[in-house]
Amino acid sequence: MTLSYTSSMRRRLGRLAAHLVVAVIALVVIGGATRVMEAGLACPDWPLCYGTFLPGRQMNLQVFLEWFHRLDAFVLGVALTIMSMVSIVRRRSLPHWLPWMSGLLVLLVALQGGLGALTVLQLLPSAVVTAHLALALTLLALLSGLAQRLLQSGEGQPPWWWRPLSALALCGVVIQCLLGARMATSWAAQRCLAGGEACRWLLLHRSAATPVAGVVLLFVVVALLAGGWSRRQWPLLLAAVVLVAMQVSLGITTLQLGLDQPLVTVAHQLVAALLVGVLAALLVRCPASVAVPCPVVLDDSSLEPCHG
């Protein structure tokens, strides 16, 4: 295989992975909208909806949200299967880790579909819905990192603190998302605000927000102060800061409105998903490797005479 063909195939798979990042973010947001609109059981059967692929007479906003959520997941699974097959067939011209990573993503999508089925068949149990979101965020982080590795040419090593701090920030945001999901799926916030019941999950979600935001901001500040390659990542670092500020503002607004505004709640989930994607991209970024020139040793015996 020529180098240009290899680079072209890698870029195509990288662009596909980038598009799938958008698809997973849409999957998370539509799933959140489905919960907020109480449409989780709008399609009472699985995997079809009212016994058909496209329900016609039953179609309304709630049914459309649940149906489109499943359609997005199906398209995502097909696209990841194609990526996995291409990475296996062209494995000699692609990174050696790509077939394994693609296979893992296909497996995770299959598990995601199984959890999606359980949420319907077991009538939306809180623990299963939270696990469903946890797997979706895992998919999002892996796909965002995969897209970065395929589209980025750098092979060097970042500063020693880069991976630990970015991983800590990413894990903190994911845990905060899951605390919010557990709170939402058990309707703890509404029960707490209405009658002072089941306030544990709401208090956990609120108390964890400050340290998680602090870890993200600490990572950004250290990166900017370190200078060099770390500072050159400022577009993604700035995006992380903006998303954290938006997330805190939306969280406060959601509670002030008593969780009665679906658009604000869905926006809260959208910003959280975007933050996970940005932090996962930052985690795997690395500088371009610097080629070390080989020393040239001149030996008189190796020099041929030059005739004028």
Q: Summarize pLDDT for 152-211 with one digit per residue, the tens.
A: 877 788 999 999 999 999 999 999 999 988 888 777 777 777 777 768 888 888 889 999
**Single-letter amino acid, residue 36:** V
Mean pLDDT of 50-66: 88
Backbone angles phi, psi at 130, to 5 degrees: -65, -40
Residue 124 has pLDDT above 80, yes or no: no
**CB under 8 Å to 35, separation ≥6 — which residues?**
129, 184, 185
Residue 300 has pLDDT above 70, yes or no: no
Would you kindly state where each structural domain of the chain is located, as residue ranges?
1-153, 156-286
Classified as helix, coil or strand, 48 is coil
Mean of pLDDT over the chain: 86
Query: What predicted TM-score, i.e. pTM, was given to this entire model?
Result: 0.87
Q: Would you say 124 and 116 are in contact if contact means Cβ atoms under 8 Å apart?
A: no
